[in-house]
Structure 1
Amino acid sequence: MRLVLHRAGLLLLIGLLSSCGGGVGVVEQDKAPTRVPDLSNVTDAVPKNEPLSKYGNPRQYKVLGKNYYTLSSAEGYHEKGIASWYGTKFHGRRTSSGEIYDMYKMTAAHKTLPLPTYVEVTNLENGKKVIVKVNDRGPFHENRLIDLSYSAATKLGIIAKGTGLVEIRALTTPGKASVTQPAKAPSPEVTASVKSISSAEMFLQVGAFSSLSRAEQIKRKLQHEVTGVITITPFSSSQGTLYRVRIGPISNVEQGDSLATKLTSLGFPNSHIVID
């Protein structure tokens, strides 16, 4: 879902909506270019701090009935999740920041990071890294963290699968002068090791509860409804000790999506995939 926000109101907003990761009312299917291009000369985006986008940073916006809240700062942002990608369907269209989407540039879409923010994206399954400029909103498919341009996804090696397990780290904070240095790329030996043994594991987190008895109640209910190992893991938070109920490890993204859909039907609409 591509979202361009304008102070003039909702009419312009509705006119500029488009789709990412399974949007609303759009039949056209996204795809890669017909001819595989030579991307050897496409380099990482160069991190720099830029002014905030005039139209791409509302405090709050709603898509598909869900509210999203734009982060006031990208400073310290570091998260793991699932990356998807977008290509020909949006090539040449306007992004949420007002820039034109070019699938051959190193860019990305994110639901809450300030626009623009430069981030380092690491494929946790093969160790490859890229730096992209986040200049768009999305993806609005459940359990997706970032939508990469065709070029960025190709360089990370996720085009064939459609998704990948990634780690994202912000390198810039719009409005500030400093730029965080990207991590050093792993040596070929390290990359080869990561390719053969990935430490990234996926779990579907049903929820985090302040009461252990409530977490155990949820676990007992789910044991009669779903397959897979269900665990309760305590962790400390600003609210005190919380108990996370998780299912997994999950073998692939498709299984996670299917399980999340089932949990929604069982009354747990806020389950989400986490990566450890």
Structure 2
Amino acid sequence: MEFIKTTEQDSKYNHLEKMSVSELLININNEDKTVPIAVEKTIPQIEKLVTNIVTRMNNGGRLFYIGAGTSGRLGIVDASECPPTFGVPHELIVGLIAGGDTAIRKAVEFAEDDTKQGWKDLQQHNISENDTVIGIAASGTTPYVIGALKECNNNNILTACITCNQDSPLSKVSKHPIEVIVGPEFVTGSSRMKAGTAQKLVLNMISTAVMIQLGKVKGNKMVDMQLSNHKLVDRGTKMIMSELNVSEEIATELLNKHKNVRIAISNYDKKNK
């Protein structure tokens, strides 16, 4: 049976160039509203994957995202935001894109068509059986991603995928396929739109749930965040003030001393028990 990509099917809208700005925005927004509903249907699959990732990370494993184009960039964004948000090492969650770092800003021609390069890129990070690799591809047909996951399966590395087409070749090589079926795009085939939004939502869910399960959040606060700018220092100070019921002066002193919200709170608690 021929594989049909719903992400490539004709838009439900036509004559876009004749629409007013208001009509364009309202119609795009109406399409965007359908994305969270599509994501909701995949929660059971996301839950199984998160549970597996947490187990493997507790055994020293890492998480890799691998993709091309928009999908690859979204993985890199999610991976790069975990260290400052949750205070984890940069090598714990890694985003890889077809064409290398150059492709983050500028498309590298035909990079996504190489079936062997994805596995080579993963090997640069000494990938092992404790690790998890999530292939991201809206189409579900990207050779760079499919080739990488096939090799991961051959080497007993846990595989998953985030795609926006049903029963795709990528899903078939993934142990944990997550298929968010968002349907045709507003601009036919422009999968940076609804498909990209869906992938971003799922990535948010995976990394945030994993980090919380690993103890990187206290209450609802990012107590392990890196204090890399004035805004985050101010946020950290307020967290300490709220948690310990102390003045801003004491909170600032604690943060300057310990350079970490969690450690500042923990040490103050021990000292004052």
Under a length normalisation based on structure 2, what TM-score does the superposition of the two structures give? 0.25
Indicate the structure whose relative CO is greater, using CA pairs within 8 Å and at least 6 residues apart: 2
Under a length normalisation based on structure 1, what TM-score does the superposition of the two structures give? 0.25
